[in-house]
A and B are shown apart, each in its own frame.
Chain A
Amino acid sequence: MITNTEIYSLTVNGTKREVRDAWVGESLLYVLRERLGLPGSKGACEQGECGSCTVIMDGQAVCSCLVMAATAIDSEITTVEGLTSDGSLTAVQDAFITEGGVQCGFCTPGLVVAIEHLLANNPEPTELEIKESISGNICRCTGYGRIFEAVATAVSTRRANL
């Protein structure tokens, strides 16, 4: 049994981070942004409908707004900031830039994480699988066309780099 009342630790992007003086009912999204200085994950709907807060937790793409942070103490959490260790861009991030997949940019971190998760498990996804994998990420600017182009480019870049 693990009990949390005041201080707890989260493993974020490979580093153990201590959370203190926080209300233990806070969402993982809030803790990442406001307690741990990781504002890459965005908060919009806070009810799991928009996907802009998507992070990888124990190998699953999840909405960080729907995870009670204090329950995630022994999980491995990867945010958009931790997709590479040296601050370089992944093939997916690079493709978003070259294909114009970013307009206002608010949904971008969540989409990038969701697509990274897709390609990590399925390097050659079909069109339907791509659509399904980002069905929980809402973008109001692009109309998604440039995002699908970015995924196609990222798939071929990753294939070339194998």
Chain B
Amino acid sequence: MTVLVPLTLKEALIATSANPSAQIIQGGTDLMVEINFNHRKPTDVIALRRVNEIRGYKISDDRSSVTVGAGLPYQAMEHGELAELFPALAQAARTVGSPQIRAAGSIGGNLGTCSPAGDALPVLSALNAIVNLNTATGSREISVHDFMVGVKRNARQPGEIIVSTTLPIINGWQGYAKVGVRNAMVISVASCCLVVDRIAGAIAVSLGAVGPTIVRCRETEAWLASQVDLKKVATVAPNLIKEFGDRIASESKPIDDHRSTAAYRRHAVATLSRRLLMRANTQ
């Protein structure tokens, strides 16, 4: 077994192109668990923890979007400029594990693992994020909706490195809520992100941990848009909020597993989505 610790993105990309099947490790909060429990024994590892180019963020010149480095730890999103631009991302970041985990974990790691319970992923979905991938010879961008293909499966090709994700800055309320068995240090039983786009007059809703991958509730979004013109009115009527939650629950695809039951998860996403919509109403 070899462990490579590239110090620049270029070195990392050369290393992955030379050994496309090598295991990439970012913060280690998922991979090391699998290694510690002998569920995985990689032969070659490329560690990205010293690649500083992917540990920052950049606001576009026209201030329409922010490109967040794949290795930026969650603790950097909890407060400050990023938290002001993306309150839902900040809320999701604060629910990730513990301070120890948030010092290590990153969006790139969430995307690489692609667990449906990944805390940042519903936010990326509701924001229509773009995932940026590089190889030694080029780069491509892909919608996060196309990137996440199944339970712990994504569209990353061998030799590619997830370098960043581009998040559009949206004018409107946004929030994230999650249910777990306790407040701190918990993996999602169910989660929900709701983003209001005042300019487009649209509400986007994405759910975590209630399907093989993140569930974007497009049918409910379309139904809500047919009921309320959000370009004209700022709030959704209470009778619609009830039905909104019911529709969200019916769009979720939860299963029974060691963390919860499908029935509870359906109930949870109905409640979380209604709660978020009510919070959006009061803003």
Contacts and interface: CB of A to CB of B under 8 A. Distances in A.
Q: Are A and B physically bound partners?
A: yes
Contact of B32 (A4, A67, A132, A136): A67
B5 A2 contact: yes
Interface string B20-61: 000001011101110111000110010101100000000000
Contact of B27 (A2, A61, A66, A74): A66
A25 interface: yes
A51 B3 CA distance: 26
B4 A135 contact: no
Interface in B1-25: 1-7, 11, 15, 25
Contacts of B41: 25
B281 interface: no
Interface string A50-92: 0100100000111101111011011000000000000000000
A133 B99 CA distance: 6
A66 B29 contact: yes
Interface string A119-162: 00000000000001101111000000000000000000000000
A68 B184 CA distance: 25
A23 B36 CA distance: 12
Interface stretch (B100-108, B123-131, B139-147): B100-108
B45 A68 contact: yes
Contacts of B35: 25, 27, 68
Given A25-B42, A25-B45, A66-B29, A5 B100 contact: no
Most A CB within 10 A of own CB, among B3, B31, B37, B100: B100
B171 interface: no
Contacts of B185: 49, 135-136, 138
Given A1-B15, A27-B35, A47-B33, A71 B104 contact: no
Given A61-B100, A135-B184, A3 B25 contact: no
Given A1-B15, A46-B36, A136-B184, A68 B3 contact: yes
Interface residues of A, number: 34
A48 interface: yes
B16 to A, nearest CB: 12
A65 B30 CA distance: 11
Nearest to B36: A46
A100 to B, nearest CB: 23
Contact of A48 (B2, B25, B33, B47): B33
A65 B34 CA distance: 11
B98 interface: yes
Interface of A: 1-5, 23-25, 27, 46-49, 51, 54, 60-63, 65-68, 70-71, 73-74, 114, 132-133, 135-138
28 contacts: A1-B15, A4-B3, A24-B2, A25-B1, A25-B3, A25-B42, A48-B98, A51-B98, A61-B100, A62-B100, A63-B29, A63-B104, A65-B32, A66-B27, A66-B29, A67-B28, A67-B32, A68-B31, A68-B32, A68-B45, A70-B45, A71-B49, A74-B5, A74-B50, A135-B184, A136-B98, A136-B101, A136-B185
